[in-house]
Structure 1
Amino acid sequence: MKQKKALITSVSLLIGLIGIIFLFRFMTVTEYTNDISQNFNYFFNAEKTLPKFSETVKSNEELSSSEKELYILYKVGCPYCNASHQYIEQKITKLDNDHKRNIKYVNVSSKAGKTLAKRYNISKAATILVVSKELTRGYVSFDSAMEKNSKIVPNKEEVDDAFTVFNTII
């Protein structure tokens, strides 16, 4: 009888622990949208569905102090980041190599991402940040994705505006 009680207690604790892990994982992946049903797939496939971000800045030392920078802020599992990635990549491929050198991806969960978010008052991932001394405030930010007809889609107008600003800076 005591062994049966111990087994039931152990199984109950294990199920509770799995439930807590499940809840924590789900909440961290679904942070950027109110509709949980849209994110259920991201809970199970966040790392698999994330576009392959290249040239990712991870530390504060990698943040550039050049005359102009375009930072693409993202978070693993963020559906808004995923939705806008392909459109952003299309815009990048049209740039000359001099401009491409000043484009960096930054995970908002990294040290560098937290620094940029604090410095430029960024409150969410899926943001494009153009930084330059030539801009009035020194920077301007754009939302790279939005909800439209209950779907998350690239915010093409904002992305286009970000690249226009970035291209006009000498």
Structure 2
Amino acid sequence: MSAPVPPADLSTLSLADIARLADERKLPPVESWNPSHCGHSGMRIARDGTWFHEGSPIGRPAMVRLFSTILRREPDGSHVLVTPVEKLDIDVEDAPFIAVELKTDGEGRERSLAFRLNTDDLVVAGPEHPIRFETGEDGPRPYIDVRRGLRALLARPVYYELAELSLAEGQDPPSLWSNGVFFPMDGGS
């Protein structure tokens, strides 16, 4: 049985529905698989979240979703695709996922922030999924921890939505709460 896929528009879901869908997603236990290294997969995840194989974009979203479930970050920071019998390197230019949609509920300390990723995964920011802001050459680089050391870059429009929320609440310095956790947007976390 496949994992439930969220509807095309997060605005039709409550945050409780989003959290339930995220919890129902069953992922393989890649952290417990330790096969021999078999080489390079010929795959790359570009900075914009596009997955490539042998230089060509993977055009089937279902294939990208499948590969994303066996993606693991190694202790040295590299990424691999892993099954019980093989482990293959995959190049990741920035983050393996992109947060492409935001759903917010509540205000201030009572706010919850949910994100849809380019793989249709759902992540609710909080203690297990912190939001981090790093300073890059091109300005702030906002990320959310997804799972097992993997993270998602927040797409520019999603980042702007977060900034607008913070400004509307008059936060100085800019910051947001989600699920009881305070996230400063200063690039120092």
Larger radius of gyration: 1
TM-score by length of 2: 0.26
Which structure has more relative contact order (CA 8 Å, sep 6+)? It is 1
Structure 1 or 2: more strand by fraction = 2
